[in-house]
Structure 1
């Protein structure tokens, strides 16, 4: 049986994308990227929404433009070895880049609970819209926030407005670029 986690990069004021939908300001530098690669060892399954899946499908093959060389190839290798579940009512199987990706048209909490029960490791739910129902329901056990030193003033919030969470700090780190990593566990 696995556990459910939510990992995201966000601005200091709590947004994963600004009001225009831009999130490039949250791109990791080499040190943060290496940290992501290392933490992926515990992850067995990624649950993604449509937009996040489209963004991350880049990693389904060997990176063509890899400025960090071996780091990007290692991330792609690890990403390709994960089970991917895409929650989307608009995508079809033909839209998916790999036959290793499972499409779920309507991801309910019971479905998510079953996915976590069947997982051999951590199930990471990726994307605030996809994660919101699980966060509200108290299903997420680990929250990993990468706080980027930027204030964007509005946009897509990292957490649902009506979330009521009691968390305990499990780990933290500050990277050279000023990004703060905060790992919280639900009490």
Structure 2
């Protein structure tokens, strides 16, 4: 049986993207990116919404210009080695990048609980919109936040506005660029 986790890179004021949907200002430094590479070693399954899935398809093959370094190649290798469950009512099987990717048109909490129960390792739910129902329902056991020292003033919140949780700090780290990694567990 797996454990459900939610990881988000967010601004100091709690947004994963600004009001225009831009998240580039929150991009990781090389040191922070390496921590994502390391973290992927624990993940057996990713649950993603349509937009996040389409964005992450970038990792399916290296760019022809040779711009990836060793860390990018390792992240891509790990990414391609895990199961992807795509929660979307608009994508079709033909839109998926790989046979290991599974489409779930309606991801309800019962289906998510079954996915976690059947997983060999950690199940990461990726994207605040896809994760919101699970966060509100108290199903997420681990919250991993990468807090970037920038304020964007509004946009897509990392955690749903109406959520109340009692969390315990399990781990923390400050990176050279000022990004804070905060790992919380549900009480």
Q: TM-score range by the shorter chain?
A: over 0.9
Asked if 1:73 is matched to 2:81, the reply is no
Q: Which residue of 2 aligns with 1:19?
A: 19
Normalized against structure 1, the TM-score is what? 0.97
Q: Which residue of 1 aligns with 2:105?
A: 105
Q: Which runs of 5+ in 1 are unaligned?
A: none
Q: Pick closer, same or farther for the CA change 1:67–1:174 going to 2, 3 Å.
A: farther
* Paired residues of 2:62 and 2:68 also in contact (CA < 8 A): no
Tell me which stretches of 4 or more aligned residues in structure 1 moved more than 6 Å: none
What is the distance in 2 between the residues matched to 1:65 and 1:124? 30
What is the distance in 2 between the residues matched to 1:28 and 1:68? 15
Residue 164 of structure 1 aligns to a residue in which SS? coil
What is the distance in 1 between the residues matched to 2:39 and 2:123? 12
Deviations along 1:34-62, whole A, 9 cap, x unmatched? 10111111110000000000110011123
Q: Which residue of 1 aligns with 2:90?
A: 90
Residue 159 of structure 2 aligns to a residue in which SS? coil
Q: Which runs of 5+ in 2 are unaligned?
A: none
What is the distance in 1 between the residues matched to 2:51 and 2:111? 20
Deviations along 1:83-104, whole A, 9 cap, x unmatched? 0000001111111111210000
Q: Which residue of 1 aligns with 2:164?
A: 164
Q: Which residue of 2 aligns with 1:147?
A: 147
Q: Which residue of 2 aligns with 1:136?
A: 136
What is the distance in 2 between the residues matched to 1:144 and 1:66? 31
Normalized against structure 2, the TM-score is what? 0.97
Corresponding pairs, count: 187
Asked if 1:181 is matched to 2:181, the reply is yes
Q: Which residue of 1 aligns with 2:124?
A: 124
